[in-house]
Every structure is written in C-alpha cells, then in structure tokens.
Amino acid sequence: MYRALAERYPDAHCELDFANPFQLLVATVLSAQTTDVQVNKVTPALFAAYPDPAALAAADRTALETIIQSTGFFRAKAESLLSLSAALVDRYDGTVPARLTELITLAGVGRKTANVVLGNAFGIPGLTVDTHFGRLTRRFGWTTAQDPVAVESDIAALFPRKDWTMLSHTVIFHGRRTCHSRRPACGACSVTEWCPSYGLGPTDPGVAARLVKDAPATPAPESS
C-alpha cells in the first residue's frame, strides 16, 4: 500500500513553509486546529517581526496575538510560543534541540510536533501521527489504536525507521486529497485492492474523482 501511495504522491512533503528548525517548530505549534495553508499566510509577517527565539521571547503579547489570531486559539498559542522561545533561549542557547526527549519539554510541543521537526528540519526519522495519519492507518487496518502514541508504536513496528518521515508525508497527502474523513473518494483511490475500508465512500470513478482535492499531475492507477 505504501509503495502504491508513494507512486501516487511522489511530491509528498511537509506543507508548512519554513527556512530553519525554529521556524518549523513555531509553524507546527500554530498548525494545531487549523490548516497548513492558513499558517503559511501568517508566518511571513510573524518571522519578519520575530526572526529568532530571543526576539519571539521578548515579543509583546498583544502584538503577537494580533499576528496569529487567524490560526485560532491564538491566546493559548501565543502563550506557548512565548514560553517555548524563552526556554530555547534559557536552556538551549537559542537553538532548537534535535532530540525528541528535549523537544517535548517545550510548551505546546508533543510527540507529533517533535517528530515533524526532527524529520523535516534535522533529517531524523519520525512518525507524524496527526488526525489524517491516525484515521488512515486505522482504515488501512495497520492499527486499531486510537491513542496517537499507541498508533505511533504500532506503525513503527511495521515499517523500517528510514521510511517513517516519508511515510507520514505520503499518508497525510492521501488523507488530505483523497481519503477524506466524511466522504473518502474510494473510486479514485490507488490502494483499493488492499484496503479493508473500500466502499466507505463513493466507488464510482466519476463521482469519486470530483471529491479528490489538489489531484496529482498523473492519474491514480486503476484498481483491479
């Protein structure tokens, strides 16, 4: 299934815009309960105003909240950003640590956020168990777990560590574009012959094709 999805989404990647580990950490914290598209609209102004942990740690809370307001839950996110930036300055000399055990001590940073940063900023394999990844791995029959940590453990046992980051991107791409939560485009899916959840959504190819968002340039292989 992973091989077929990788062929379907050869350009799968982190869809948050960033230039360094600090920017990715901040963007991932902001991405909670909103879309990467919305975060990418906010971060240019945010990073222009606060280019590093020291600047963000010293930010005026009201000004920060105004910049990030459109991402939702902006007061809690502002608190997390101020706190994690201060911690980076105080404990890590303004540098984002490249260890999961250290990242998850920062405000607003759980295993999902830590694995995003490790995999995409440092090249250290990690599994990003967001809502898409959890939903699809259960639909695929790869896990029955609901808890993200348990999902991560189950999937880690199935795939080589070297594949974890790209597996995450590929599955998340599929979840955002084809295997939707409410109405998956089953008839336009490239893994139907192996998927135990085939039929949850429309199986007619024409109907399903209209549900696909941001379809890749090459069409999905026809299911047998």
Which stretches of 58-185 are DSSP H helices? Answer: 61-68, 74-92, 100-103, 111-121, 131-139, 148-156, 164-177
Round to whole Å and give the CA distance between 59 and 134: 35
Q: Give the side-chain half-sphere CA count within 13 A for 96.
A: 25
Round to whole Å and give the CA distance between 85 and 87: 5
- Is residue 130 part of the annotated active site? The answer reads yes
- Is residue 213 part of the annotated active site? The answer reads no
Tell whether the torsion through CA atoms of 208, 210, 211 and 215 is positive or negative: positive
Contact 114, 25 (CB under 8 A): no
Catalytic annotation, pick one of 36, 77, 130, 147: 130
- State the burial class of residue 170 (Cβ atoms within 10 Å of its Cβ: 0-12, 13-18, 19+): buried
Catalytic annotation, pick one of 17, 77, 112, 214: 112
Tokens of 169: 């991107």
- Phi and psi at residue 158, to the nearest 5°: -95, -25
Positions annotated as catalytic residues are 112, 130
